[in-house]
């Protein structure tokens, strides 16, 4: 027998009892005999809830996504729901994406809920994640679940939990739920479905969601302007194909070209290395189709349709992929303009973003007399703001990682409505003789030129996890004092909730929930944030630099200077 860590072996052998099926036991025995390293990775911890719910590699073990880990989650959630809503008939909505095993795992989750006497609305086929958020409130549910791993690689799957407001779980519910789950034994999971409590849903919710998306994402733009916009869209083998083409058609966009090779939902994502619209390579086929059709805009969505990548033509007519900050800036500007035109800005409105997104957004939002609010990474925190501030009207919000939310009919990032919004903006600007890209340059000239770059360092497995923890410890114990010749003036530590002025040593409390994030600011406004990913084995560094831009004509030259500055910072801080 190969050498296996004794503690891991002991834990793995608890999965060789009659609680688990023969297929699971056979695989564990194989790992014990043939692959002790994989056995260790599968059992060294429990798969955890992170920024976007729970994500992990599929397989056997406590640190994997499988029937038993999701069954235990769902049993714990069932117990927690009964405790939270003692006098209600509890209802739960469940959706799933295109990933391998998503449909099967969704049925396992439905079975456990129903076995616990909870009424289940289960989508009959794959659907976008934002539609699940919508369905929770539409069907008056106390909870919602979507089986997805967003844009992670094909071997992943996951489990996102939504509460009755349509937003994802946040403190204190998330920690209370985790405690409930951790106190359960696998033997306590009830898999014996009560089929009479499981109801399939589709058309009625689909139609309501599509109508709400058109209502929230459409504005006073002529039918001719919509018809004249040439759009290329790709679902990247994901769920958006079930909703985005229909919504665009309903709104009046008839000149839409789909990437046929990527239309069919497929959890293996055969035409891309990664189904992530943040990466230009993922949109390669869409960009080729755009040249063939002379399209104005290209949009691609990730597998569960909550993120979108937008490419538009630059001043030379070349298609370029905008980053999430850039798309968010133009979308927010457009929404603010619409609210201003309709005289709806009364001083009780807000726009939200995250602490690692571009600082430029604050300049833009406050210029319109609208409140700007900042939260931790993840749209669950933006949803919580809406819930916590019923006295304020939410206009929209986004984050650098290619997510946007229009209004509050959905309480999560929503690539269906955001796709429509991007097309509305492009159509109006084209009709005016302007363009999406040129508008971005105009905003830079007015509010300052900001350039951001994200560096993700992948650190897989047990050793990688240790390395990420040590990197953040080192940053705290040996903080940067100077970056690219600029003195560091402020360090925000979201783990201790302390913002320290490095110059006068004054400290202020950060009024945001604790998180393992560090943000450095220099005297010239350079900003660098460091945080471990909540959903992938990565540590992320977010660099933001800025300068004044006297006119759009100077953009290329000034942007090159900022690009060089980021390159120097990466080299200096060894982030390459």
Residues designated as active site: 150
**Are the C-beta atoms of 484 and 502 separated by less than 8 Å?**
no
At residue 306, φ and ψ (nearest 5 deg) are: -110, -20
Residue 273 — left, alpha, or beta (φ > 0 → left; ψ -120 to 50 → alpha)? alpha
Distance CA 496, CA 481 (A): 19
Q: Is 86 exposed, middle or buried (0-12, 13-18, 19+ CB in 10 A)?
A: exposed
Number of helices (H), then strands (E), in the chain: 18, 24
DSSP string, 407-445: SSSSSS--HHHHHHHHHHHHHHHHHTT--HHHHHHHHHH
Please return the burial class of 496, using the count of CB atoms within 10 Å of its CB with bins 0-12, 13-18 and 19+: middle
Question: How far, in Å, CA of 361 to CA of 329, rounded?
Answer: 6
CA distance 487 to 475: 16
Return the CA Rg of the chain.
24
Rounded Cα gap, residues 78 and 202, in angstroms:
24
How many residues are recorded in the chain?
576
- Rounded to the nearest 10 degrees, what angle do helices 415-431 and 436-447 cross at? 90
Rounded distance, CA 496 to CA 513, Å?
Answer: 10
Half-sphere exposure of 301 (CA within 13 A, CB side): 33
């Amino acid at each position: 027998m190969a050498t296996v860590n004794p503690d891991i072996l002991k834990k793995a052998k608890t999965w060789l009892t009659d609680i688990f099926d023969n297929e699971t036991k056979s695989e564990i025995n194989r790992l014990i005999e043939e692959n002790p390293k994989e056995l260790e990775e599968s059992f060294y911890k429990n798969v955890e809830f992170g920024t976007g719910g729970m994500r992990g590699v599929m397989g056997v073990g406590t640190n994997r996504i499988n029937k038993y880990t999701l069954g235990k989650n769902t049993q714990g959630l069932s117990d927690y729901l009964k405790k939270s809503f003692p006098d209600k008939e509890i209802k739960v909505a469940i959706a799933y994406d295109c990933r391998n095993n998503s449909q099967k795992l969704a049925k396992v989750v439905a079975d456990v809920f129903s076995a616990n006497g909870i009424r289940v609305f289960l989508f009959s086929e794959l659907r976008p994640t934002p539609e699940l958020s919508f369905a929770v409130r539409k069907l008056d549910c106390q909870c919602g679940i979507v089986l997805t791993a967003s844009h992670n690689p094909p071997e992943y799957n996951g489990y996102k939990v939504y509460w009755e407001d349509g937003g994802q779980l946040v403190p204190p519910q998330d920690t209370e739920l985790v405690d409930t789950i951790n106190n359960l034994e696998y033997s306590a999971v009830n898999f014996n479905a009560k089929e009479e409590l499981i109801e399939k849903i589709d058309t009625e919710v689909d139609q309501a969601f599509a109508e709400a998306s058109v209502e929230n994402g459409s504005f006073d733009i002529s039918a001719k302007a919509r018809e004249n916009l040439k759009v290329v869209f790709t679902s990247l083998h994901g769920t958006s194909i079930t909703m985005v083409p229909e919504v665009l058609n309903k709104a009046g966009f008839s000149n839409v070209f789909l990437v046929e090779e990527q239309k069919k939902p497929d959890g293996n994502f055969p035409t891309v290395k990664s189904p992530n619209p943040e990466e230009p390579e993922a949109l390669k086929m869409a960009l080729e189709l755009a040249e063939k059709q002379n399209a104005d805009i290209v949009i691609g969505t990730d597998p569960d349709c909550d993120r979108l990548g937008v490419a538009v033509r630059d001043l030379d007519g070349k298609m370029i992929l905008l980053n999430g900050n850039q798309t968010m800036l133009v979308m927010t500007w457009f929404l603010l303009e619409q609210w201003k035109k309709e005289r709806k800005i009364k001083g009780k409105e807000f726009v939200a973003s995250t602490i690692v997104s571009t600082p430029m957004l604050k300049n833009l939002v406050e210029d319109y007399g609208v409140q700007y609010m900042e939260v931790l990474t993840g749209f669950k925190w933006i949803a919580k703001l809406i819930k916590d501030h019923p006295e304020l009207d939410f206009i929209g919000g986004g984050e650098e990682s290619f997510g946007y939310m229009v209004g509050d009919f959905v309480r999560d990032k929503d690539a269906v409505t955001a796709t429509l919004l991007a097309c509305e903006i492009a159509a109006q600007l084209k009709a005016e003789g302007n363009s999406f890209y040129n508008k971005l340059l105009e905003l830079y000239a007015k509010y300052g030129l900001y350039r951001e770059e994200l560096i993700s360092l992948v650190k897989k497995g047990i050793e990688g996890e240790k390395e990420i923890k040590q990197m953040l410890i080192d940053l705290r114990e040996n903080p940067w004092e100077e970056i690219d010749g600029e003195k560091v003036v402020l360090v925000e530590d979201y783990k201790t909730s302390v913002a320290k002025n490095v110059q006068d040593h004054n400290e202020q409390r950060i009024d945001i929930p604790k998180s393992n994030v560090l943000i450095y600011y220099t005297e010239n406004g350079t900003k660098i944030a460091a945080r471990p990913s909540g959903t992938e084995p990565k540590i992320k560094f977010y660099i933001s630099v800025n300068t004044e831009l006297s006119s759009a004509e100077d953009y290329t030259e000034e942007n090159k200077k900022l690009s060089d500055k980021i390159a120097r910072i990466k080299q200096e801080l060894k982030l390459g």
